Structure 1
Amino acid sequence: MSEKIETAVLAGGCFWCTEAVFQRLKGVQSVVSGYTGGNIKNPAYREITTGRTGHAEAISITYDANQISFTELLEVFFATHDPTTLNQQGADRGTQYRSAIFFGNIEQKQLAEEFIQDLEDQKVFDKPIVTEVTPLGPFYKAEDYHQNYYNQNSSQGYCQFVINPKINKLTNKFTAKLKETA
């Protein structure tokens, strides 16, 4: 079966967290941390952290849709962050930490809206979902030191206390979707 390469752009708080989660999924070929959804060109991290640029810390996921679907990516996305907190994930606060799905085509938009509606109908969360579903604009790759952050800094405090619980949740809930490790 040939590859069917697609891209998904998601924001679920700190991109170090979301990058670490999605890197571990079968069918995911690459994950790039970056910024999207804002109003200036080529923003830098120091500008993003102010919350004034309008950008979200996001990840661009390149994946083989024959191995993992957009809907499966959404399942993992909604299971590994809190989509009910506006502009916040844990102690990380500001619009740059908002929950968002930046759709690249109408199919992704429809799938995302249907998925959210299903979660709401099933009352999966105690509070309403505030995840934005918005068109993808320019995506700017973050500085190199943000790329592959968890894998290179897993003993760092933030990684231990914030990212490790997300990895554990992923491992426990989605074992069959994980890449095999050597």
Structure 2
Amino acid sequence: MMTEVQIATLGGGCFWCIDAAFRRVKGVLEVRSGYCGGHTQQPTYEQICHGDSGHAEVVEIKFDPQQISYVQVLEMFFTLHDPTQLNRQGNDIGTQYRSVVFYHNEQQLQQAKTTIESVQQQYMAPVVTELSEACQFYSAESYHQDYYTNNRAQGYCSVMIAPKLAKFQHQFSQQLLEDDT
């Protein structure tokens, strides 16, 4: 019997880090960096960077729910960014870097709400993660796909992404594919 593939669409700062982490997770079938939640059709990275398209940098994750649940995907996602920072992650500032869960159905919405309530217990500041109904996803330019693997020596990758991945790999070692470093 074929399992129905599910989709999670998540934004939490620069999409390169979230992309890199989820490419290592068992049960994840496909990861695409892209844009969601704005008003511009077929946005480009340059339009996103100006912050006036309304889109967030997101990652679309296709996964096998027999191997990993949506809640597990969300729990991993919330370890990869600070959901208390409004419209930013570290030095990345703007609405394109907002913390957002684009839910694809009512069940995902309810699971996201419950997960956020749980995550809130870990922070003194309020979790500001936006919950929005999934809308048109636009795939980012090809050079953004699997950016970390293709650019590990690049400054942002070695300084910002590598430490997050190391923490992620330690925290979720049982749910990850064999290390490909």
- Counterpart Cα distance in 1 of 2:119 and 2:91: 25
The 5 Å alignment of 1:42-61 reads: 42-61=42-61
Q: Give the equivalent residue in structure 2 for 1:100.
A: 100
C-alpha deviation, 1:166, in angstroms: 1.1
Which string of whole-angstrom CA distances, capped at 9 and with x for unpartnered residues, describes residues 112-168 of structure 1? 001111222xx2012110000110110000001111100100111000011011101
Aligned-partner SS, 2:127: coil
Q: Give the equivalent residue in structure 1 for 2:163.
A: 165
- Counterpart Cα distance in 2 of 1:130 and 1:28: 26
TM-score, normalization by structure 2: 0.96
Q: Percent identity?
A: 47
Any conservation in 1 of the 2:83–2:129 contact (CA below 8 Å)? yes
Structure 2: which 5+ residue stretches go unaligned? none
Matched, 1:153 2:151: yes
Any conservation in 2 of the 1:17–1:150 contact (CA below 8 Å)? yes
Q: Give the equivalent residue in structure 2 for 1:129.
A: 127
- Counterpart Cα distance in 2 of 1:16 and 1:134: 21
Structure 1: which 5+ residue stretches go unaligned? none
Q: Give the equivalent residue in structure 2 for 1:138.
A: 136
The 5 Å alignment of 1:39-118 reads: 39-118=39-118
C-alpha deviation, 1:181, in angstroms: 3.7
C-alpha deviation, 1:58, in angstroms: 0.2
TM-score, normalization by structure 1: 0.96
Alignment RMSD: 1.1
- Counterpart Cα distance in 1 of 2:123 and 2:174: 24
Matched, 1:9 2:9: yes
Q: Which of the residues 158, 178, 181 maps onto 1:180?
A: 178
- Counterpart Cα distance in 1 of 2:22 and 2:124: 25
- Counterpart Cα distance in 2 of 1:181 and 1:21: 11
The one-letter code of the counterpart of 1:124 is: Q
Aligned-partner SS, 1:49: helix
The one-letter code of the counterpart of 2:101 is: I
Q: Give the equivalent residue in structure 1 for 2:27.
A: 27
Any conservation in 2 of the 1:4–1:66 contact (CA below 8 Å)? no
- What is the number of equivalent residue pairs in this alignment? 180
C-alpha deviation, 1:5, in angstroms: 1.0
Aligned-partner SS, 1:138: coil
163-172 or 55-64, which moves further after superposition? 163-172
- Counterpart Cα distance in 2 of 1:112 and 1:88: 20
The one-letter code of the counterpart of 1:95 is: T
Any conservation in 1 of the 2:78–2:119 contact (CA below 8 Å)? no
Any conservation in 2 of the 1:36–1:56 contact (CA below 8 Å)? yes
